[in-house]
Amino acid sequence: MQQARDHGGGVDAALARWGGARSDWIDLSTGINPVPYPVGRVSDMAWTALPDAGAEARLIAAARTFWRVPEGVEIVAAPGASAIIAALPGLWRLGRVDVPGPTYNEHEAAFRAGGWEIGPGGEARVIVHPNNPDGRLWSADALTAPRMVIDESFCDVAPGHSLVGAAGPGRIVLKSFGKFWGLAGLRLGFAIGAPEEMARLRARLGPWAVSGLALEIGARALEDRAWAEATRQRLAADAARLDGLMAAHGVLVGGTDLFRLYEVVDAAAFQDRLGRAHVLSRIFPYSDHWLRLGLPGPEGWARLEAVL
Amino acid sequence: MQQARDHGGGVDAALARWGGARSDWIDLSTGINPVPYPVGRVSDMAWTALPDAGAEARLIAAARTFWRVPEGVEIVAAPGASAIIAALPGLWRLGRVDVPGPTYNEHEAAFRAGGWEIGPGGEARVIVHPNNPDGRLWSADALTAPRMVIDESFCDVAPGHSLVGAAGPGRIVLKSFGKFWGLAGLRLGFAIGAPEEMARLRARLGPWAVSGLALEIGARALEDRAWAEATRQRLAADAARLDGLMAAHGVLVGGTDLFRLYEVVDAAAFQDRLGRAHVLSRIFPYSDHWLRLGLPGPEGWARLEAVL
């Protein structure tokens, strides 16, 4: 918030540029699942009380099972993966960090703000796995630096590729709740790593970092394997459907089942055309041709088909 | 969470020691208003979308008006005052910090974890205003260090005493949403200070630090002056009522209208007696005689009267 860096999700800015009411817009500028995990009933205590250790323990246990976190490795819950990304550069002694790009720009920004040099061959390396925006998958061969950040924010659509088994001293894996479970407003993310590094991360976040709502809903969602499996199947089908719609307009560069990256003739013109129809897409300051689209919800397909 | 430091709010631990079901317990171990601001209807977007700049701007504007924040001073919203307390020591060059006590223990812990020396006469000073647990009020005379943290987490019951007018370079005022508005599970707090220091704090918290729920509910609550005024009156009456009940058992040391500190003959024995009746109170590792009680909700008074 109040950041100058380029991100998706700026519906307010889109309203200012292309008009319309907020409820008219279909926001395809992020990689957030448009069919969220059903929030259901939340206890009064989740709203009113300081988040309790028992609720956190249930969430962490659910996360450990869901992501098959290895023994001896700890999990820290945070108010969004962004809070962890902002804190990571302070966990390690200053050095040089390699952030192979193009990728999600908060990693480099956070290390730079923390006084790190940016470039290959240094003490630390960040890989976004699968990568945003092109969906590139990495293997364990990419874990070349003594300090590794493996950002698996979009890996829950492809859990077989997870590198969580590599988490340990100097290797921190990040997980995001908001994207796959479609509750980005709730703010919940996780770091998985060695106990000593996780203790320092916890100290940087302070006590009661995660809301009682996120503890309760997050635990319920991570325990719900059937929802996750059905969601993976739906997202895969919807990604294929979007590729079908876009086939006439561009070439698929890559992506995940939460967002697709296409090469089009003129990305800015394409974004403008969609924007005038109140469909928000994502383009990138470093490319004239890349257009990224998230998936519409069930009620959005007809509009999108009419526009494309 | 997962902190070893002594805090209120540990209902899980109380269950383990004194038994009972969670819903049986009256938690008087914190200073959280037991009659929360009514959450009402929350937009779907607050749950699902990345928190938007427009929602944050509305919250910040409401905070500026509610606390009469001076021109030229900025406000940063965070997921709880605790997140700010954890980040503050990293904003300034290492030195020595004075934290006059006894007081809320997270301040000293955060500065210590950040590598600061603790003691008077240094570069920084933290005052909790009014102080927790004794309710001591400070004046502008206490702003003696070049870097001041003024923690006004409990000042909304006594807004006439606020030192927010002193916020500026090297003087950061903290506000808590969870306590006065009774929504501690939501996680919302504010720092008020000079633009340059607030920019560094924002960088440490990362983007989208505050949930969409907290942005929306927080804005609505801070705009609701009538609720705040009625709540102040109710809390003042309830604090007097609690003092009346406790008059036979101890001497009032101080407090605020959100918690009361009493001197009793044997604080541990008193806590145990309340605990066996499933009323959770707060005692302090540094005192054999201090007992702190928050206020019960409307349905809790009869039980408390029967116990006392």
**Quick check: B2 pLDDT over 60?**
no
Question: Nearest residue on chain B to A45, judged by CA atoms?
Answer: B185
Interface residue of B32, B190, B208, B216 to substitute, partner A, most A CBs within 10 Å:
B208
Percent of chain B with pLDDT over 90: 93
User: Within the 144-163 window of chain A, which residues sit less than 8 Å (CB to CB) from chain B?
Assistant: none
Point out the residue among B5, B52, B79 whose CB comes nearest to the CB of A187: B79
Question: Nearest residue on chain B to A34, judged by CA atoms?
Answer: B48
Backbone angles phi, psi at A252, to 5 degrees: -70, 125
Per-position b or e across A8-45, b if 16+ CB within 10 A of its CB: bbbbeebbeebeeebeebbbbbbbbbbbbbebeeeeeb
User: Within the 64-83 window of chain A, which residues sit less than 8 Å (CB to CB) from chain B?
Assistant: 77, 79-80, 82-83
Point out the residue among B46, B84, B90 whose CB comes nearest to the CB of A90: B90
What pLDDT is stored for residue B13 in this prediction?
Answer: 86
Mean pLDDT of A94-102: 97
> Cα B204 from chain centroid?
21
Across the interface, whether the CB atoms of A211 and B22 are under 8 A apart is answered no
Mean pLDDT of A121-132: 97
Mean pLDDT of A167-190: 98
- Collect all residues of chain B within an 8 Å Cβ-Cβ radius of residue A54: 12
**Quick check: B18 pLDDT over 90?**
yes
User: Within the 168-207 window of chain B, which residues sit less than 8 Å (CB to CB) from chain A?
Assistant: 178, 182-187, 202-207
The yes/no answer to whether this complex scores an ipTM above 0.90 is yes
**Quick check: B95 pLDDT over 90?**
yes
Instruction: Please say whether the beta carbons of B56 and B215 come within 8 A.
Output: yes
Instruction: Please say whether the beta carbons of B129 and B161 come within 8 A.
Output: yes
Percent of chain A with pLDDT over 70: 98
Mean pLDDT of B53-70: 96
Structure confidence at residue B227 as a pLDDT band (50, 70, 90) = very high
- Cβ of residue B210 closer than 8 Å to a chain A Cβ: yes
Structure confidence at residue B6 as a pLDDT band (50, 70, 90) = confident
Write the DSSP string, chain B.
----S--S--HHHHHHHH---GGG-EE-SS---SSPPP-----HHHHHSPPPHHHHHHHHHHHHHHTTPPTT-EEEEESSHHHHHHHGGGGS-S-EEE--SS--THHHHHHHHTT-EE-TTSSEEEEESS-TTT-----GGG--SSEEEEE-TTGGGSGGG--GGG-BTTEEEEEESTTTTS-GGG--EEEEE-HHHHHHHHHHH-TT-S-HHHHHHHHHHHT-HHHHHHHHHHHHHHHHHHHHHHTTT-EEEEEETTEEEEE-S-HHHHHHHHHHTTEE-EE-TT-SSEEEEE---GGGHHHHHHH-
Q: What is the pTM of this model?
A: 0.95
Write the DSSP string, B4-43.
-S--S--HHHHHHHH---GGG-EE-SS---SSPPP-----
* Coil/strand/helix, residue A148: strand
Write the DSSP string, A181-215.
TS-GGG--EEEEE-HHHHHHHHHHH-TT-S-HHHH
- Cβ of residue A91 closer than 8 Å to a chain B Cβ: no
- Collect all residues of chain B within an 8 Å Cβ-Cβ radius of residue A3: 202, 207
pLDDT in tens, A45-89: 999 999 988 899 999 999 999 999 999 999 999 999 999 999 999
Instruction: Please say whether the beta carbons of A87 and A205 come within 8 A.
Output: yes
CA distance A141 to B73: 49
Point out the residue among A10, A49, A186 whose CB comes nearest to the CB of B9: A49
- Cβ of residue B275 closer than 8 Å to a chain A Cβ: no
**Quick check: A3 pLDDT over 70?**
no
Instruction: Please say whether the beta carbons of B243 and A222 come within 8 A.
Output: no
Structure confidence at residue B1 as a pLDDT band (50, 70, 90) = very low
Q: What is the CA radius of gyration of chain B?
A: 19
